[in-house]
Structure 1
């Protein structure tokens, strides 16, 4: 059995910083013994900030390492992440690799893990974010009462794997699965149609990338709406809020406006929009420095539990393979993202629209009379 406090390394200093921040939060569970990187200025600053040794070669990895967090682009994304994961697994080190991973590479890593009696898991912080969890919980609750009848989702292609992960947990099943049409028109979005878990699916995908800054310039992360006979449940953004919109219905037996105003039907007195849970808007600084590291911590604690208890996570592994295959299906149908190398960051302060947002329409003024 492994000791209670595991020795861990982080591979990659870009997104790896979020893993280092998470491991710092969980310092009672993990001891970070190295940052594996090529020795860039960023990695040197990162290693210094977290007080960990900077490793520039696999040979420098201590023999005592229990867990490696591989936070590099996988093979399918043109990086060395999968190759490194396989090397670490062969050395008898447990691996948590950041998504996405091609389903064939994922299968190879799972085989290597089984052969060397270690664990391999993919990491996905988005599935653990508070508002995403709220959306999943609410969808499961609604599904016990009514079946979903449609799904609409808008997202950036860079986060398509997490989208499928969210749907896999929100729905009772993701089979049957099929994609039947893609619409490629002018503009930043492409539209895919298909079926997931027997439910009609429409995907609106921002399929562009700035080759000089591929992690930025996304028009959105995730917006998902699942419709039921009684209304629609929406994750308005990856960080919330989650909104319930009851379906509008005018009773057939109501003949006059007076009867409508006095009708006692409960669905007429329900709010037309309900924000579910106690949603508190957060700044992007709070999201990136606090919420994301905390979400990564869930994956870290889960794989630690598996290491300590010997849990194999076979069901989770099968689900990861299915999600990866579905992600590959979407990627193949969409094709390569359009290149937009001239994208620049042009922030807008909310103060510029606050006054406009307070301006009352003519209908509001009449309503208030």
Structure 2
């Protein structure tokens, strides 16, 4: 018998709704909780489920709920709705971000009502990021991490911190500063020409540079980011890079130029070998896992819904086992504290009026590849 799941929210909540439609999913969409807008009514009709406008209307047989409504920091009632659902004995998966105080209150409500509550940073549950985290864990077991370099948009900065926290084994201790001067001010360029703000410091005791596109178009707040996440974890042996949130993952050995050469009888010069496995024969950059990231159509249709199912699976297993919500909750309380400190350093996002980007179509991308091949 499938587990009945409620989805609260129909904007980004549509991704969760699709996640519950995956073939062979162990979950059944039990209904939608929203304010009753035209969008939410259309969603309920499309998915063939009831539309509820109050948590008190949700049937007693609903076991899990996905709350995909903004929290108080972003002007929404998400945390309050999550608490109301937990007070009815429903286990809750809540989309990030939340203010630390809201998260703490949700965790107290979960503990008081004997339910499980997970804050979902979303991207960490997708298959490409899970592969990156597995590779990072293996790398950390073999070499000490020397530095971190990462870039993100401010809308998904919390998710970046979660990915980094898992990749590094934690975020404590941390300390960051913002450079005294913006490059735009020194060069005469506008901030649109230099959209990223850098924060330098340490994360998990490791030197780190975070670059954040701290901009927002109020007319379309979810769009116009230059990227979601790009991460490099550096070790003495080389760099592990997540090129974009959805891959690929690339290993690039650290440059190591031999100090000695050997000349064969043929007169051909060879680099001297250093015994054992010759690291000079390892490709200077190589993908780990799929060499090509999925298209955004596939991301929306498959990768994200599969990530939702993965996150729901973690919640369902924790609920079945009767796990306390506090251990994972404490980790996210730490992330909330760090995230709020960083956003305070960044300051309010710069409000911009963005224009729709002129994207490259398949033919133009093919021409880029042809130009690269031709240059060789």
TM-score normalised over the length of structure 2: 0.89
Q: How many residues align?
A: 361
* Alignment correspondent of 1:367: none
* Alignment correspondent of 1:82: 79
- Return the match for 1:112 from 105, 109, 113: 109
C-alpha distance 213-319 of structure 1, shift in aligned 2 (>3 A): same
Q: Which moved more, 1:64-73 or 1:353-362?
A: 353-362
C-alpha distance 355-64 of structure 1, shift in aligned 2 (>3 A): closer
Paired residues of 1:123 and 1:296 also in contact (CA < 8 A): no
CA RMSD, aligned part only? 2.2
Paired residues of 2:3 and 2:63 also in contact (CA < 8 A): yes
1:244 aligned to 2:244?
Answer: no
* Alignment correspondent of 2:6: 9
C-alpha distance 30-269 of structure 1, shift in aligned 2 (>3 A): closer
1:62 aligned to 2:59?
Answer: yes
C-alpha distance 91-246 of structure 1, shift in aligned 2 (>3 A): same
Q: Summarize the alignment of residues 121-200 of structure 1 with structure 2, pairs less than 5 Å apart.
A: 121-182=118-179, 184=182, 185=184, 186=191, 187-200=194-207
**Displacement, 1:76?**
1.1
* Alignment correspondent of 1:328: 340
Cα distance per residue 1:310-337 (max 9 Å; x no partner): 1124321211111111111111111111
Paired residues of 1:26 and 1:297 also in contact (CA < 8 A): no
Cα distance per residue 1:180-235 (max 9 Å; x no partner): 22454432111111101111110111111111111111110000001111111100
- Return the match for 1:283 from 258, 274, 295: 295
**Displacement, 1:108?**
0.7
Unaligned runs of 5+ in 1: 365-369
CA distance in 1 between counterparts of 2:28 and 2:139 reads: 42
CA distance in 2 between counterparts of 1:33 and 1:169 reads: 32
- Return the match for 2:234 from 227, 231, 234: 227
1:264 aligned to 2:276?
Answer: no
CA distance in 2 between counterparts of 1:50 and 1:208 reads: 35
Q: Which moved more, 1:249-258 or 1:112-121?
A: 249-258
C-alpha distance 26-195 of structure 1, shift in aligned 2 (>3 A): farther
Q: Which moved more, 1:278-287 or 1:289-298?
A: 278-287
**Displacement, 1:61?**
1.9
Unaligned runs of 5+ in 2: 185-190
* Alignment correspondent of 1:319: 331
Q: Which moved more, 1:192-201 or 1:63-72?
A: 63-72
C-alpha distance 333-260 of structure 1, shift in aligned 2 (>3 A): farther
CA distance in 2 between counterparts of 1:312 and 1:86 reads: 16
CA distance in 1 between counterparts of 2:25 and 2:150 reads: 39
Q: State the secondary structure of the residue aligned to 1:47.
A: helix
Paired residues of 1:176 and 1:197 also in contact (CA < 8 A): yes
Q: Flag as ranges the 4+ runs of structure 1 deviating above 4 A.
A: 255-260, 360-363
CA distance in 1 between counterparts of 2:24 and 2:282 reads: 47
* Alignment correspondent of 2:187: none
Q: State the secondary structure of the residue aligned to 1:190.
A: strand
* Alignment correspondent of 2:188: none
Q: Which moved more, 1:174-183 or 1:235-244?
A: 174-183
CA distance in 1 between counterparts of 2:152 and 2:47 reads: 33
